[in-house]
Amino acid sequence: MDITSLFTQFLSGLTYGTILFLVAAGLSLIFGVMNILNFAHAALWLMGAYFSYTFWSWMQGNSFAFWLSIPLAGLAAAAVGWVMEVVLIKRIYKRELYEQLLITYCIALIISDTIKLTWGVTNKLIVRPEMIRKPVFIFGAPLDSYFIFVILAGAAVAIGLWWFLKYTRYGHIVKAAVYSREMVGALGIPIPRIDTWVFTLGIFLAGFAGGIQAPIGSITLGMDTAIIIQAFCVVVIGGFGSLLGTLVGSLIVGEVFSFTILFWPEGAMVLIFVITAAILIVRPWGLFGTPMRT
């Protein structure tokens, strides 16, 4: 195995990790602030992919259609998320975790059927612009040229979220809510409104990630079921509510999966579950989470 092949595999792990980060960031944010384990997150990610296809179809023929459809998918998913939070999620904040899981699982099924009714059962394919149909070579290692955009988008989301949490007032409130919702509430800050906007932001990230996923392969029903498990692994490893943890967790899962495939393909997913289980036993709050959360 030469160094170029190893570097190629590293790049594959990096792109896979980036895609997982984009999905898991919203999941982690929602759980961190609102204490809601949103099982419907991946279904909204899938809906984002379908939204992206619709926007791309509407604007087909325009040179910007491909690129614009991605953030528009995020905004459309965010609108769905906002309605979902106001109508449903608000009512289950104080429920037990298992009840939240069951309810959000039901919502995931409803979203899946809505997707089926709206877009049908046939695959949807977004045709990429000519410039990103060929591989690029980085130190001799091939990389799908679209993945450069994916990696940059992942980095932009990570930096944007970090900046938001570190330097904005709302970011500080969100961070404070991760530690103590009661204290934030006691300071006169309307927690329900914060919840709504955090949930909407989380779902925007899901829809945006779906839009990014859409041109990678074809968009099909059921894509969400596989990725939700991996997204949960990411947030468990990194720590719920921790942006840095989600980023590191994503990269760990991406690289472990990628390199294990090279040497032990049968064990690629198993190893990720072993790591997740080990973290849950040894450090249940994850690598970068905190056990002090109330």
How far, rounded to the nearest angstrom, does the alpha carbon of residue 181 sit from its chain's CA centroid?
Answer: 24
Confirm or reject binding of residue 217 to another protein (CB under 8 A). yes
Using H for helix, E for strand and C for coil, what is the string for 97-129? HHHHHHHHHHHHHHHHHHHHHHHCCCCECCCCC
Confirm or reject binding of residue 271 to another protein (CB under 8 A). no
Contact residues for 133 (Cβ-Cβ < 8 A; gap 6+): 145
Task: For the CB of residue 234, give the shortest distance to another protein in the complex, in Å.
Answer: 13
Q: Per DSSP, what are the bridge partners of residue 137?
A: 142
Stretch that binds another protein, among 141-149, 154-162, 168-176, 244-252 (CB under 8 A): 141-149
Task: For the CB of residue 63, give the shortest distance to another protein in the complex, in Å.
Answer: 18
Instruction: Give the integer Cα–Cα distance in Å for 240 and 287.
Output: 10
Task: For the CB of residue 217, give the shortest distance to another protein in the complex, in Å.
Answer: 4
Stretch that binds another protein, among 33-41, 61-69, 89-97, 254-262 (CB under 8 A): 254-262
Site string for another protein, 24-63 (x = CB under 8 A): ----------------------------------------
Q: Is 143 in a helix, a strand, or coil?
A: strand
Task: For the CB of residue 212, give the shortest distance to another protein in the complex, in Å.
Answer: 12
Q: What is the DSSP letter of 138?
A: E
Contact between 115 and 80 under an 8 Å Cβ cutoff? The reply is no
User: Which tokens go with 175?
Assistant: 């961070």
User: Which tokens go with 127?
Assistant: 């045709």
Confirm or reject binding of residue 213 to another protein (CB under 8 A). yes
Place of tokens 């991760």: 178
Task: For the CB of residue 226, give the shortest distance to another protein in the complex, in Å.
Answer: 6
Query: Which residues contact another protein by CB under 8 A?
Result: 1, 5-6, 8-9, 11-13, 15-16, 19, 121-123, 125, 127-128, 132-135, 142-147, 213, 216-218, 220, 222-223, 225-227, 257-258, 261-262, 265-266, 268-269
